[in-house]
């Protein structure tokens, strides 16, 4: 099994949970699962590039090759209400990954 195929447990910081509540993160998890299957890097960056468009980029290290991206690589754009920029940071715990939703200032 490739490292990127290991199970992912999703969690969020208190600040992220307080800002988005319990429902909206479920949509971000579903989207993250789809994106990770094609782009298994250790960070996703969610931010608005227009008031009605969210850009999602990958950054960091590739889970299978350990290749490092020197800068964000945009992987998709979707229609969205304005959001506060946030990250989804994946950490390898050996037998599984933990994906943490957080704001940049919480890192």
| Boundaries of every domain in the chain | 6-106
Q: pLDDT digits over 60-79, tens only?
A: 999 999 999 988 999 999 99
Tell me what the mean pLDDT of segment 10-29 comes to: 95
Q: What is the mean pLDDT of the chain?
A: 95
- Candidate from 14-18, 20-24, 54-58, 97-101 with smallest mean pLDDT: 20-24
Distance set, CA 11 to CA 34, 40, 90 (Å):
17, 18, 10
Distance set, CA 77 to CA 5, 8, 51, 99 (Å):
24, 23, 12, 21
- Assign 7 to helix, strand or coil: coil
Topology of the domain comprising 6-106: Nuclear Transport Factor 2; Chain: A, (3.10.450)
- Of 44, 60, 56, 106, the closest CA to residue 80 belongs to 56
H or E element in which residue 103 lies = none
State the Cα–Cα distance between residues 20 and 82, nearest whole angstrom. 12
């Amino acid at each position: 099994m490739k490292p990127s195929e290991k199970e992912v447990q999703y969690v969020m910081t208190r600040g992220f949970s307080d800002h988005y509540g319990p429902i909206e993160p479920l949509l971000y998890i579903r989207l993250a699962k789809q994106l990770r299957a094609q782009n298994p890097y250790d960070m996703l960056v969610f931010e608005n590039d227009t008031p009605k468009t969210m850009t999602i980029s990958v950054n960091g290290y590739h889970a299978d090759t350990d290749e490092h991206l020197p800068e964000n690589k945009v992987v998709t754009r979707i229609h969205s209400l304005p959001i506060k920029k946030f990250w989804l940071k994946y950490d390898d715990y050996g037998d599984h990954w933990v994906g943490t939703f957080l704001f940049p200032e919480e890192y």
